[in-house]
Chain A
Amino acid sequence: MALPQAKLDATEARLAALTPLAGGAWLTAAQDQAVARLRAMGLPGRRDEYWRYTRPDRLISVEPTPASVFKAKDETPIFDAFDAIKLVFVDGVFSPDLSDQPAVDGLEIERLSDAGAKDIHWAKDLYGVLEARGQNPVERPLAALNTAYAQDGFLIRATGKVSKPVRMIYLHESTTSDAILHHVIKVEEGADLTVIENGPAAARFNKVMEVDVADTGAFHHIRAQGRDHERQAATHIFARLGRESLFKSFTLTANGVLTRNEVVIELTGDDASAHVAGCALGDGDFLHDDTVFITHDAVNCESRQVFKKVLRNGATGVFQGKILVKQGAQKTDGYQISQSLLLDDDAQFLAKPELEIYADDVACSHGSTSGALDETALFYLRSRGVPVKQATDMLTLAFLAEAIEEIADEAIADEIHDRLAAWLQRRRG
């Protein structure tokens, strides 16, 4: 089917303004294929089924909408207390000077521009490959754009239990920066890797992370999206999971006029487990969109989606989550919950939970709710002497708890909890 002219024009205008990263044969081929994919689908438009709740305009425009830089006062940056291999980007460009030299057993880290220049590389079988697999049945044009025009990123391979997390820090310094980053992560058989990401990254940020977890591998992902309120971000995670592997991802988002986080997971090996969770806090001109697609294509796999949003003052939350259970994916255990706490009448939550099941021996449950704080619980706490503001915070954190509990590392979970508490304290009236 031919694309509408407006869509074609928008796509060509955007492409004309971009230059692919120079590279060797494998990278160039991947970029060319991605451009072809993108031309076939066109950039997202408001009429597209998965863009009805979130306007894509600012994500597809030729120039980014400027975003001012927020400097936090009297606040230690999140995750700084944890020992990690730091990789720092400034407005989407890797900064070797600000970063650690990675030398850890069981871990290979290469910059995309270095690895891409080689004639052959292990990432050839993954770069743009998992993204391409994730384009069906739902198109994700911004991810194809990313594969074609990513300017930086890392190729990370874990071959054993990596003793400390890899931490990507995305600093934002220019009000007009337009960053496109692409990471590929390969967790080999039996290996174990944690990746932490944080920071606002740029005025506009397009990021793709492709993750291949081999049999019995484990991948943990923790992300905190920056506080710069005016920034706009579209991120994708494409993951493929082997037998008895584990994938766990948690995202904290506080503020942001436009954030679209897509997670696309394929469970391809038996007995694999995928957990995706998120807490989003929005006040005022805030839009946060979690779009998740989990495909069960093996026996006895488990998946969990736990998304919680706290919205006030006209903030909008979006959840589009799907569990697809393919024929033969028996004994699937799928769970999906998306909930919003609306702290006033102006906030809104738009949810589209979907289940599509072609196997007959599965257990899938899903739920979606939005509502105000429980007045009875609030009175109960106050009747015990807890002041109303403190009681409100307690109940709000309790509402978020199920998502925070998805974080395996207790120290990180505590840090996230403290940040959430601090945000609530700053924002409460």
Chain B
Amino acid sequence: MLEIKNLRVKLEEEDKEILKGVDLTVEAGKVHAIMGPNGSGKSTLSYVLSGKGGYEVTEGSATLDGVDLLEMEPEERAAEGLFLAFQYPVEIPGVGNMTFLRTAVNAQRKARGEDEMSAGEFLKVIREKAKTLKIDADMLKRPVNTGFSGGEKKRNEILQMAMLEPKMCILDETDSGLDVDAMKLVSEGVNALRDAGRGFLVITHYQRLLDHIKPDVVHIMANGRIVKSGGPELALEVEHNGYADILAEVA
């Protein structure tokens, strides 16, 4: 589904290489986790895949079901089925959460040549999905993420994901800023979306998120590369021994 080959990326503004040849394949129906120390390039990878400005791809490729992602605008990538749950969801005062989501859903549908969702239908679907994430009517009406707590913001990301039904979901440190209960709620939201046609890339510092969202494959990223891949046991190893051992072993 998601295929990244020898991806090299530098900052646009300065001559600093962040990703130094990333190779990664996420298959449909699988959950891949990326762990790694600060500054290893995990978040940059998520931004480059979703099309944020400020980065220059110098080599390599990234495709989603064979379609070249890197040539597309962010909105086109979204319409292709890519979704990034932000580490820091953006507050947008003045734009109602519901209006925003409906605009996004219909913009994607339009881009794919599908019929737009009617207001009534949209309302029905969003109410149902919001309920499972314990998002009340007030949160739907309020401006996007504005004044939301850390947990509310992350739940709102998952709600967007549930509404947009992407093929490929990237979760960038979705566990940061969450207490145990909120993490459970968010994880349940993610797990509910797991199905044979959908791939996940879960970026996290900590193993504890992976207790809730069980990965099929765990990758360790360091210094702009995937340095080691393995099963869920790799996350436990990190939890017990830190990154030092693994990094020393691959160095």
Give A residues with C-beta under 8 Å from B: 374-377, 379-388, 390-391, 394-395, 397-402
Contacts and interface: CB of A to CB of B under 8 A. Distances in A.
Nearest to B47: A379
B62 to A, nearest CB: 15
17 contacts: A379-B53, A379-B90, A380-B89, A382-B73, A383-B52, A383-B74, A383-B84, A383-B86, A385-B104, A385-B105, A385-B164, A387-B75, A387-B111, A388-B73, A390-B107, A395-B92, A398-B93
Contact of A385 (B89, B93, B111): B111
A375 B12 CA distance: 16
Contacts of B100: 381, 384, 386, 394
Given A380-B86, A386-B103, A397-B95, 6 more contacts: A380-B90, A384-B104, A386-B104, A390-B107, A394-B95, A400-B94
B108 A385 contact: yes
Interface of B: 50-53, 73-75, 77-79, 83-84, 86, 89-90, 92-95, 100-101, 103-105, 107-108, 111, 143, 160, 164
A398 B92 contact: yes
A382 B74 CA distance: 6
B221 to A, nearest CB: 21
A338 B250 CA distance: 57
B53 A385 contact: no
A383 B170 CA distance: 12
A112 B143 CA distance: 47
Nearest to A397: B94
Contacts of A377: 90, 92
A182 B74 CA distance: 54
Contacts of A376: 90
Nearest to B109: A385
A381 to B, nearest CB: 7
A404 to B, nearest CB: 9
A385 B75 contact: yes
Contacts of A391: 75
A399 B143 CA distance: 12
A383 B52 CA distance: 8
Nearest to B95: A398
B95 A395 contact: yes
Contacts of A380: 86, 89-90, 92
A382 B51 contact: yes
B188 to A, nearest CB: 22
Most A CB atoms within 10 A — which of B75, B86, B103, B111? Answer: B75
A387 B107 contact: yes
A317 to B, nearest CB: 19
Given A383-B84, A385-B104, A390-B107, A375 B75 contact: no
B27 to A, nearest CB: 23
Given A379-B74, A382-B51, A401 B94 contact: yes
Contact of A384 (B93, B94, B164): B164
A315 B93 CA distance: 25
A384 B78 contact: yes
B86 to A, nearest CB: 7
A270 B89 CA distance: 44
B94 A402 contact: yes
Nearest to B91: A377
Contacts of A401: 93-94
A385 B78 contact: yes
B104 to A, nearest CB: 4
